[in-house]
Amino acid sequence: MSDKNLVTGPESFPEPRFDDGALTQVASTKASRRQFIKGVIASGAVASSAAVFLTACEPGEQGAAPAAAGGVERLLTLNVNGQMRRVDVMPNETLAMTLRYKLNLTGTKLGCDRGECGACTVLLDDVAHYSCSTLTHAARNKAITTVEGLESESGELHPVQQAMIDELGPQCGFCTPGQIMSAVALLTANPNPTRDEARLAMSGNLCRCGAYDNYLNSVMRAAEMA
Amino acid sequence: MSKDMMPGFELYQPDSVDGAVDLLGRYGGEAWALAGGNDSLDWFKDRVKRPQYVVDLSGLDELRGIREMDDGGIEIGAMTSLTEIESSALIQERYSVLADATRRVASPQIRNASTIGGNVCQDTRCWYYRYGVDCYRAGGNECYADTPEGQNREHCLWGADRCIAVSPSDMAPALVALDARMVVRDADGDREIAAEEFFIGPDIDIERMTVLEPGDVLTAIRIPADWAGARFYFEKVADRNTWDFPLVNIAAAMFVEDDTVQSIRIVAGAVQCIPRRLTAVEQAVTGQPKNEATAAVAGQTAVRGATPFNFNHFKIPLLQNLVTRAIRDA
Ligand SMILES: Cc1cc2nc3c(=O)[nH]c(=O)nc-3n(C[C@H](O)[C@H](O)[C@H](O)COP(=O)(O)OP(=O)(O)OC[C@H]3O[C@@H](n4cnc5c(N)ncnc54)[C@H](O)[C@@H]3O)c2cc1C
Ligand code: FES
Ligand code: FES
């Protein structure tokens, strides 16, 4: 089952229960979903705004419990693309949020934010993960690689990136960073995949443009190049 | 709603299982055990479940790995990733039904992050419930799926009791077929529960999918030697090959001698709130020749008593066919 089906509910579709979070400050729990969304937009608390993300999401403001002894330290050192980066990370922060809005690594995209598209794919210790579905604190001991970390020190593109260009892999390009990261993970684990193995390895990356065959051609070419 | 923050919580990363048990016991219903996060974070993002304390089990290496047990069975740590399970030579060799089921879960990235413990403890995917409405399962007085217009294509054929949601897991039927044991720890120590008793329906508790209570940690899943090397069958039918949950799945383990079924366990997923063990099928085929005729009887037997809702009649022939194929092709 996926969220797509929600739009086909009956006329009398019931209202969800929202708890008293920061967002519900702009809409009462009895408000309709439409009113609720309008309210959120009017208040400026929309999705990808870094300013809102950085200011409106302190645990204290959302009625969470006060800090208790033994909870995680917020100041982390993350190993991102081979660099040690000091960063203040909230407990409820996903890796995609940290990468995009704290470390300015916006090559990692957010599509669905629900583990259903792959746009946010990054590598943790060389293995592909959805950064939208990973708590940053749970990744603190891993080597994190994003699409920005693939090119060589001299600025040469990674073979997968070069192959994507040579084979005209992407169409609109939104899913491309995620596709590249999945391909890099595959070729690290299995440098000579069959086309079917590659298809399976890339199956967790949705492409709304349907450029799947072009992506597969790119992966197979990268395997030959490397 | 999609790209804003989850509400705040206190995050703990204990360095021992006992530490985790202690925290989860102390905070009870306010606490949430976090494994791979693939189910958990969705609930938090949607603001439907709002724990104050989240206990991250990801640092607990003692909960990870696949070990051989003295009696010839294996023990899988609850935090072992699905990718590790599907690629384990030991599991492929002895219990291939579990490897086959695992390979059909979600997507490669989700299998890299998800754990076997999280997979068996995950909540149901009924979208009314997940959308956050005040349905029975959420403590209310209504089932929005069980109405004339209710979108119940994915819902149950058996065991409706106010709630009609189903077990979403692909691994659970395989584990019940293998007669797995769940090892659960709380403040009083460890206890072992048969997989078949681990999953519970709305008749027992409408707000939970398993016997786990606040403060319990699933530490491992043990697979006894009994069914090692048996003939196996797993098949899942879903709308898409990636991401989508089963519409129906089937897992079977059987021993066959001289073309006769000596013993069998066969379990269907996504047709009831718990993995449904098809005991009538087991009885019907035990001692019978393993052939087309027996397989056909098995399929008919499997669907007896199924009670569909408006949009899920298709699950009846689907289950019948899957059971027929399992008996014929295992
Ligand atoms: C888009 C999508 C598609 C999916 N498709 C499928 C599918 O086709 N088939 C399928 O079987 N699954 C599917 N899943 C489920 C997925 O495979 C995960 O197994 C599941 O989300 C939970 O695993 P996790 O390790 O991420 O656990 P979490 O999400 O962290 O935890 C899930 C639940 O289990 C509890 N829990 C976890 N570990 C323990 C423990 N050791 N002790 C006590 N409680 C524990 C948590 O408190 C929580 O309530 C899908 C998930 C997503 C997001
Ligand atoms: S944004 Fe992470 S999978 Fe879609
Ligand atoms: S190229 Fe447009 S989404 Fe994939």
B215 with B92, same domain: the answer is yes
Q: Are B276 and B288 in contact (CB under 8 A)?
A: no
pLDDT greater at residue A5 or residue B2: B2
Q: Is B2 inside a domain boundary?
A: no
Q: Is A168 inside a domain boundary?
A: yes
pLDDT score at B313:
98
Optimal mutation site among A8, A54, A133, A140, interface B, most CBs of chain B within 10 A:
A133
Distance A197 CA to ligand 3 centre (A): 21
pLDDT score at B4:
72
Residue where one domain finishes, among candidates A26, A47, A73: A73
pLDDT score at B3:
55
Q: Are B172 and B249 in contact (CB under 8 A)?
A: no
Which of A8, A91, A203 has the CB atom closest to B242's CB atom? Answer: A203
Determine the Cα–Cα distance for residues A23 and B161; give it in Å rounded to an integer.
Answer: 35
Which of A13, A57, A133 has the CB atom closest to B113's CB atom? Answer: A133
B78 with B184, same domain: the answer is yes
Determine the Cα–Cα distance for residues A226 and B148; give it in Å rounded to an integer.
Answer: 58
Q: Is B137 inside a domain boundary?
A: no
B134–A17 C-beta distance less than 8 A: yes
DSSP letters, B281-321, are: HHHHHTTSBSSHHHHHHHHHHHTTT----TT-TTHHHHHHH
B174-221 pLDDT, tens digit each: 999 999 999 999 999 999 999 999 999 999 999 999 999 999 999 999
How, if at all, do strands B53-56 and B31-34 pair? parallel
Nearby residues of B328 by Cβ (< 8 Å), 6 or more positions away: B290, B291, B292, B295
Give the percent of chain B with pLDDT over 70. 99
Mean pLDDT of chain A: 80
A96: nearest CA partner in chain B: B3
Residue A141 pLDDT > 70? yes
Nearest CA to ligand 2 atom 3: A115
A179 with A198, same domain: the answer is yes
B214 with B235, same domain: the answer is no
Mean pLDDT of chain B: 97
A217 with A156, same domain: the answer is yes
Q: How many domains does chain B have?
A: 3
Distance B38 CA to ligand 1 centre (A): 6
Distance B38 CA to ligand 2 centre (A): 11
DSSP letters, B154-179, are: T--SS--BSB------SHHHHHHHTT
pLDDT greater at residue A182 or residue A59: A182
Residue-number span of the structural domain to which A104 is assigned: 74-149
Place A24 in a pLDDT band, splitting at 50, 70 and 90. very low
B21-59 pLDDT, tens digit each: 999 999 999 999 999 999 999 999 999 999 999 999 999
Which of A64, A133, A141 has the CB atom closest to B38's CB atom? Answer: A133
B188 with B304, same domain: the answer is no
Q: Is A64 inside a domain boundary?
A: yes
What atom in ligand 2 is closest to the CA of residue A111? Answer: 1
Report the pocket of ligand 3 as residue ranges, CB < 6 Å.
A 170-175, 207-209, 211
Complex ipTM, two decimals? 0.96
B258-267 core/surface letters (b: 16 or more CB in 10 A; e: else):
eeebebbbbb
Q: Which of A98, A108, A112, A206 to mutate to test the pocket of ligand 2 (most atoms within 8 A of CB)?
A: A112
Place A33 in a pLDDT band, splitting at 50, 70 and 90. very low
Predicted structure pTM score:
0.90
